[in-house]
Amino acid sequence: MYLVFIKMKNQTTTSINNNRVAVVGSGIAGLSAAIRAAVAGAKVHVYEQNSYTGGKVTSFEKDGFRFDAGPSLFTLPYLVDDLFKLAGENPRDHFNYHSHDKVCNYFWRDGTRFSMYPQLDKNIEVISSNFSTMEASRVADYFSDAAKKYNLTSPYFLENSLHKLSTFMTLDVLKVLRAIPSLGLFSSLDEENKKYFKDPKLIQLFNRYATYNGSSPFLTPGIMQMITHLEHGLGTYLPRGGMHEISQSLTKLALKLGVEFHLGHKVEKLTSVQNKMVGVQANGIEHPCDTVFVNSDVKHAYSHLLPPEIKRPKKTLKQEPSSSALIFYWGIKGSFPELDLHNIFFSDDYQKEFDAIQHNGAFWEDPTVYVNITSKLEKTDAPIGHENWFVMINVPSNQGQAWDDIIPKVKKSILDRLNQELGIDIEPLIMTEELLDPRSIERKTSSVGGALYGTSSNDRMAAFFRHPNKKSSVHGLYFCGGSAHPGGGVPLCLLSAKIATDWWLENDE
């Protein structure tokens, strides 16, 4: 049925059954591209440098604790379900998830603390209880505006390519163009939030959504307000078995479809002849192919994989990298009822914090701390009476900083803050510990500098400078993943693979 639709859509489509597809990297986007290509009938090979699939979406176990190593927030689960449906499978037979009734717990140093929810009436009640009536009266308008921004722009700028003329050749896109003055493209997220709220805490709370694409709320455009709609309008979830189940369920689906995985195979170069992809070299062996989907950092691909005769996109490669992260994985003795799945402990001065991150300042002195505890929902993730804490702060990408000196300072700042908020000395409760820093992120994922989202969105034109999902000058070369359009994070990576494979299926060469 799917192939019939493709052929009806474009009669010039060549036989996909004869197409040899190579996917470089088995992150979420790479897995999605492999599944879509296999469903279309191609012979698909995935080359992955690590001994496991999933890229950043992986996990590990230590001393009886299970930790998701990477992304901790799950939204838009239908994008995962769509891949199973595309393959003719019932998603619930392979992949399931919790719908969580609380978005996040928030903590400030002055003792203010409250939770936010996916329900508007609950959020209005929370804001009314903690802030003025005037602030509460703006909440409904704020979330309504976020939903409008999302619903208006998502079909064109997230679900389709910004680099195809056909995206803009519809009458509906005129609605977006007419709405440009109200989309917040010419103001920062911080400035946009100040139009609604006066209290610094509320502004800080909604400014935090800039970090979802590794950016600063004082630089990223106000249109990023729409990210709040994902959590408060569409809901937050946790896969049963943890975030790792996203990548593992997709890996099993790909295997069922005949995709061949080559784990421990580091791709060293991509080969082209007369601007046509003809092969990939992994572990010193050349593997012929007709199409390549690159699910690795764009900067890494141009620096290490692509032949020099392929033109480099100078503006894209000069873009500012997104932020990275320092993550402590702690197995904690004891249970903390005041904590939930997602918890944020805000810094006193958000602007100072982001300036320090952007300019490699003392970002460890008063960092905003994020604590994710999956054992709140997945009880087997920690021994009885214990919790698995994923403790993260935002940091700059790796540029040669003295991380071995910085890490102890970060840990002390985090512990001091948590001790203050929770009224207990946390360090003696740490039963086991692991660490992920920008250097190890870079080593494990080939993300240049360990940047979590490729490039930041600290510019209103950043979305247009992200690498397109197809290299127009090279036949058979496509890009997907966090450093390509539309960006990083699980939902956008899934969309990037769909855009890339749709372009390939259209044979739009």
- C-beta of residue 483 within 8 angstroms of C-beta of residue 466: yes
Q: Hey, is 14 helix, strand or coil? A: coil
- Closest-CA residue to 161 (of 507, 495, 447, 387): 495
pLDDT at position 15:
57
C-alpha pair distances (Å), 109 with each of 140, 400, 417? 27, 32, 8
Q: What is the mean pLDDT of residues 17-37?
A: 95
d(CA 16, CA 102): 45
pLDDT at position 463:
64
Helix 78-86 and helix 28-39: axis angle, to 10°? 30
| 66 phi/psi in degrees, rounded to 5 | -110, 135
d(CA 44, CA 288): 12
| 220 phi/psi in degrees, rounded to 5 | -70, 145
- C-beta of residue 296 within 8 angstroms of C-beta of residue 24: yes
Q: What is the mean pLDDT of residues 232-259?
A: 97
The tokens of 462 are what?
């950043």
* Non-local CB neighbours of 116 within 8 Å, separated by 6+ positions: 102, 103, 104, 106, 123, 126, 205, 232
Q: Hey, is 35 helix, strand or coil? A: helix
Judged by average pLDDT, the poorest of 4-13, 213-222, 375-384, 487-496 is 4-13
| 249 phi/psi in degrees, rounded to 5 | -65, -35
pLDDT at position 162:
82
Q: Where are the beta strands (DSSP E) in 126-259?
A: 236-239
In this prediction, residue 11 has a pLDDT band, given cuts at 50, 70 and 90, of: very low
The domain ranges of the chain are 2-55+241-319+461-505, 119-234
Edge-first strand order for the sheet with 43-48 is 260-263, 43-48, 20-24, 291-294, 477-479
Amino acid at 132: S
- Write out pLDDT tens, residues 448-488: 999 999 888 888 777 667 899 999 899 999 999 999 999 99
- C-beta of residue 354 within 8 angstroms of C-beta of residue 217: yes
Edge-first strand order for the sheet with 267-272 is 267-272, 277-282, 285-288
pLDDT at position 13:
39
10 pLDDT more than 50: no
In this prediction, residue 323 has a pLDDT band, given cuts at 50, 70 and 90, of: very high
pLDDT at position 8:
30
d(CA 475, CA 278): 10
- Closest-CA residue to 209 (of 333, 113, 106): 106
Instruction: Report the chain's C-alpha Rg in angstroms.
Output: 23
Question: Can you give 458-480 as a three-state secondary structure string?
Answer: CCCCHHHHCECCECCCCECEEEC
d(CA 56, CA 447): 10
- Write out pLDDT tens, residues 188-215: 999 999 999 999 999 999 999 999 989 9
Q: What is the mean pLDDT of residues 150-166?
A: 86
Q: Fill in the DSSP letter of residue 262.
A: E
248 pLDDT more than 80: yes
- Provide the b/e sequence for 11-21 (b: ≥16 CB within 10 Å): eebeebeebbb
- C-beta of residue 25 within 8 angstroms of C-beta of residue 48: yes
The tokens of 225 are what?
């307000």
In this prediction, residue 242 has a pLDDT band, given cuts at 50, 70 and 90, of: very high
Q: What is the mean pLDDT of residues 299-307?
A: 94
Q: Where are the beta strands (DSSP E) in 167-263?
A: 236-239, 260-263
Q: Fill in the DSSP letter of residue 221.
A: B
d(CA 83, CA 250): 8
**Domain covering 2-55+241-319+461-505: architecture:** 3-Layer(bba) Sandwich (3.50)
The tokens of 185 are what?
């493209």
Q: Hey, is 456 helix, strand or coil? A: coil
Tell me what percent of the residues of the chain surpass a pLDDT of 90: 83
